[in-house]
Homo-oligomer: A and B are copies of this chain.
Amino acid sequence: MAGNTFGKVFIITTFGESHGPGVGVIVDGCPPGIGLSTGDFVYDMARRRPGKRSFESPRKEEDQVEILSGVFEGLTTGTPIALFIRNRDADSRPYEKMRDLFRPGHADYGYYRKYGHFDFRGGGRASARETAARVAAGVVADKILKPIGARVICYTIELGGVRAEQIDLALIDESPFYCPDPDASRLMEDAAQKARSQGDSVGGIVEIRVTGCPAGLGEPVFDKLEADLAKAVMSVGAVKGVEIGAGFEAARLKGSQNNDPITPAGFASNNAGGILGGISNGDEIIIRAAVKPIPSISIEQDTIDRKGNAAKLTITGRHDATAIPRINPVLEAMVRITLADHYLRSKTIKILN
């Protein structure tokens, strides 16, 4: 029983592989009457696009989103919105030698053990290419969040061992890593460049903040808001950890430190990260995702072939030195999608209005 669908009311189903005709998504459950056109996707798709920065692969993807259904005379109709992004510039020849070798840290081995037959070119279905469809769906989700005043912001607080010391959200678009600390951003760039020059890669930590989220979203006891956010974030390749509010640090606090006092003016602190008992409390939602270093490195590695024989692998071709910042709009999209879904879900608990 496959798992390419996410959400229960705002429901997305993605499809497509790295080196097939393209990737896409069906958005089902989007309310009618929302203005939507191909232009709406340009900004977010561009942010996910590689090849703009020195530490990234020069692969050129245009990533134009085609609307195949669900929009009429510029407005959504309430029927499924199919979005398709054609693959271009997808030379699969460099992957021919991977036909038999499993790349360490990649999905190849798991796919082989599970499916037997899989499209290994560029990671196939497991490629980061698939996330283009998520970003497109996130643009639609954002159309639901905007009228209610909720906004999702995503930025890098750690990369290659460099930690942001200050968080000034006004500065994140000036940093190639969406880092809210300009000094840290420069050091991050050095770290990424250095790793790339060594044929290596680095990881980091991305923080996602939601402002203006109404109280009352989340469905205990399993579809708690933090549970669905954790799943959303962890479903993005390269993410190995997720935390809400104080997160792992909360494990070291006393109850008297960790509890957020409640005042007539609101919560006096936000260790909860905006979620109590699985339900948004109206405060800012804070999520952090641990992003592992990209597994495609040009340093020689030990592996095996499909028959189980030992082999040496040196990955050539274009590769980024870090999944950050390209993963940021993907994480942002997943949070948008989760919130749009829970917002629409929350509408079912009142009989009249």
Contacts and interface: CB of A to CB of B under 8 A. Distances in A.
Nearest to A261: B302
Given A32-B116, A113-B282, A114-B218, 16 more contacts: A4-B79, A4-B221, A14-B80, A14-B221, A107-B220, A114-B346, A115-B349, A126-B221, A234-B242, A235-B278, A240-B243, A241-B248, A241-B250, A241-B251, A242-B242, A259-B295
Given A125-B79, A235-B224, A292 B258 contact: yes
Contacts of A21: 66-69
A252 B261 CA distance: 34
Contacts of A234: 224, 226-227, 229-231, 242, 244
A51 B245 CA distance: 30
Interface in A241-274: 241-264, 268, 271-273
B32 A290 contact: no
A292 B349 contact: no
Interface stretch (A57-65, A98-106, A166-174, A175-183): A98-106
Nearest to A29: B2
Contact of A118 (B78, B231, B235, B248): B78
Contact of A255 (B15, B105, B304): B105
Interface in A302-353: 302-304, 308-310, 344-353
Residue from A115, A124, A246 with most neighbouring chain B CB atoms (10 Å): A115
A227 B220 contact: no
Contacts of A105: 255, 258-260, 272, 276
A138 interface: no
A303 B262 contact: yes
A241 B11 CA distance: 25
B263 A310 contact: yes
B310 A106 contact: no
A6 to B, nearest CB: 4
B227 A231 contact: yes
B349 A281 contact: no
Contacts of A108: 276-277
A17 interface: yes
Interface in A1-50: 1-6, 8-9, 11, 13-17, 20-24, 26, 28-29, 31-34
How many chain A residues sit at the interface, stated as a range, is 35 or more
A326 B46 CA distance: 44
Contact of A3 (B32, B221, B261): B221
Contacts of A11: 2, 5
Pick the 10 closest A-B CB pairs, nearest first: A107-B277, A3-B223, A3-B219, A110-B279, A241-B243, A201-B255, A105-B259, A231-B231, A72-B119, A15-B80
Contact of A9 (B1, B102, B279): B1
A327 B14 CA distance: 29
B202 A15 contact: no
Interface string A113-144: 11111110000111000100000000000001
A161 interface: yes
A119 B276 contact: no
A152 interface: no
A40 to B, nearest CB: 16
A212 interface: no
A111 B277 contact: yes
A109 B262 CA distance: 9
